[in-house]
Amino acid sequence: MREVHTHVRDWMRGAGMAVTVDAAGNIRGVYPSADAPARRLYMASHLDTVPNAGAFDGVLGVLIGIALVEALEGRGLPFAVEVIGFSEEEGVRFGTPFIGSRALAGTLDDEALARCDRNGVSVADAIRAFGLDADRIADARAAHDAIGYLEFHIAQGPVLESRGRPIGVVNGIAGQTRLALTFTGTANHAGTTPMSLRHDALAGAAEWIAAVEAAAVGTPDLVATVGHIEALPNASNVIAGRCDVSLDVRHRDDGVRQRSAVALVQLAAGIALRRGLAVSHEVRLDQHAVAMDDGLTRVLEQAVHDSGAPLEHLVSGAGHDAMVVGGCMPAAMLFLRSPGGISHHPDEAVREDDVALALEVGQRFLARLAEPPV
C-alpha cells in the first residue's frame, strides 16, 4: 500500500491536488474550488482487492477520478473535488469490509477497530503499524455539507455485456449479510473409528453447504455463497474435529435477505444436532440494501444522455463503497462493462473505449453539476 500511495500521490499532485493520508489509511487528494469556501464533491473507490484478482476492481475508479481532475487543467469549479483511494473495501484480512469508506462515513466504530486477523492483529494495531493514529479516525469523516459522492467501477458481472451496453447507471446496491460459522465435532483416527460412531465436523459442514446452494436456488434473486472453508486438524488420516466456514447472503430486499440468513443458520443447527455436532455463528456484516440518490443519479443520467450513450439501469449485486457513503451523503454510481462478466480473477478486464466513454460522462457530470441552479 505504501508503494501504491507513492504512485497515487504523484498523480494527484500532478493534477493539482493537495494530498493527505487519513487515519484509516485512505489517500485523499483535494482540488480547490474557484470559490471559497465551497462545498465538496467526493469521487472515490478502493485500492485493495482480493487474492488472485485482476487489475481493475476498485483502482480503476480511483484513477478515473484523478483523470477527471487532471482534465480540468487548472480550471476552477464552483465546488471543491476530493478524490479518495480507500485503503480497504474487500474485508479479506479482518473479515469485515469497507474499513476505508466507513471512516469517511463516520461509522468505523470501536468494535470494527478491535476486530483481529488470523494472527491476532487488530484493525487498530494495523493502522498504528502503518504509522497512523487510530485515535484520530473521527478526523477522516466527510464534510457535513458535501454535495455528494460519485463512484466509477467495473460491473463485475455479465449483465451489461449481455445487453450490449458499455456503461450503466446504478439504481441501488443489494444488501449483504456475512457470517462465520464453526462446526465442532470430535477429531479421531480415520482408520479405527467406524462411520456410525463419527462426529465429523467437515462432513456436517459439507452437507450444510449443499443445502445452502439448494435453498438459494429455490429463492428468486437470492445469492448465497460459502467461499471459505477450513478443516482442522486438516490431516488426511484424521476425522475433522472442527470446520470453519463463511456465509455470504445477498438480496435487493432486506427482508428476504435477513430471513434467508436466519433460515440458513437454523439449517446448520439442525444438521449439527442430527450429526452430534455443535455449531456456532458470528455475524460479520449486516449491510442493508441502499438506493442511490435520485437527484445525483438524475445528473448522472443527463451526463450519459449528453455523451450520446444509451441509458441503462441496473442494481448491483456486489457491495461497493457507495453503499456505505450513501448513508451520510447523496451517492451515485456508474458501472463499466466487464468483458466476459469476469471479476475477482486475473482475467478481469475492461475495454479502453468504455473507459474513454466513462471519462466523457464524468466530464459532462462535472459540467452539469457546475451549472448555476435554475
DSSP strands (E only) in 304-356:
313-316, 331-336
Report which secondary-structure segment, H or E, holds 358: helix 352-370
CATH code at position 188: 3.30.70.360
**Do 50 and 180 fall within a single domain?**
no
**Do 187 and 40 fall within a single domain?**
no
Given a cut of 70, is residue 287 above it in pLDDT?
yes
181, β-bridge pairs: 245, 281
Residue range 76-121, pLDDT digits in tens: 999 999 999 999 999 999 988 899 999 999 999 999 999 999 999 9
44, β-bridge pairs: 84
**Do 158 and 69 fall within a single domain?**
yes
Give the pLDDT score at 318.
87
**Do 151 and 281 fall within a single domain?**
no
How far is Cα 30 from Cα 225, in angstroms, rounded to an integer?
39
Give the pLDDT score at 51.
92
Parent domain of 188 = 175-287
Distance in Å from the first CA to the final CA of the chain: 44
**Torsion angles phi and psi, residue 145, rounded to 5:** -110, 30
Residue range 120-176, pLDDT digits in tens: 999 999 999 999 999 999 999 999 999 999 999 999 999 999 999 999 999 999 999
**Do 129 and 60 fall within a single domain?**
yes
Q: Which among 252, 287, 322 is the end of a domain?
A: 287
Give the pLDDT score at 374.
65
* DSSP string across 4-36: HHHHHHHHHHHTT-EEEE-TTS-EEEEEPPSSS
Long-range contacts of 207-211 (CB under 8 A, 24+ apart): 207/271, 207/275, 208/183, 208/245, 208/267, 208/268, 208/271, 209/245, 211/264, 211/267, 211/271
**Do 46 and 10 fall within a single domain?**
yes
- Into how many domains does the chain fold? 2
**Do 39 and 61 fall within a single domain?**
yes
Q: Which among 253, 287, 321 is the end of a domain?
A: 287
What does pTM read for this prediction? 0.82
**Do 204 and 230 fall within a single domain?**
yes
Q: Which among 287, 306, 337 is the end of a domain?
A: 287
Residue range 16-68, pLDDT digits in tens: 999 999 999 999 999 999 887 889 999 999 999 999 999 999 999 999 999 99
**Do 11 and 64 fall within a single domain?**
yes
**Do 229 and 349 fall within a single domain?**
no
Q: State what percent of residues in the chain have pLDDT above 70.
A: 100
User: With 0-12 CB in 10 A as exposed, 13-18 as middle and 19+ as buried, what is 76?
Assistant: middle
User: With 0-12 CB in 10 A as exposed, 13-18 as middle and 19+ as buried, what is 193?
Assistant: middle
**Do 166 and 60 fall within a single domain?**
yes
Q: State what percent of residues in the chain have pLDDT above 90.
A: 94
CATH code at position 24: 3.40.630.10
* Chain centroid offset of residue 31 CA: 25
* Residue partners of 107: CB distance under 8 A and separation at least 6: 324, 327, 328
149 closest CA partner among 47, 290, 35: 290
How far is Cα 252 from Cα 248, in angstroms, rounded to an integer?
14
Q: Band of the pLDDT at 319, cuts 50, 70, 90?
A: confident
**Do 272 and 299 fall within a single domain?**
no
Residue range 227-266, pLDDT digits in tens: 999 999 999 999 999 999 999 999 989 999 999 999 999 9
Residue count of the chain: 374
Residue range 172-216, pLDDT digits in tens: 999 999 999 999 999 999 999 999 999 999 999 999 999 999 999
168, β-bridge pairs: 335
335 closest CA partner among 116, 216, 163: 163
User: Mean pLDDT in the chain?
Assistant: 96
Q: Is 266 helix (H, G, I), strand (E, B) or coil?
A: helix
How far is Cα 109 from Cα 205, in angstroms, rounded to an integer?
32
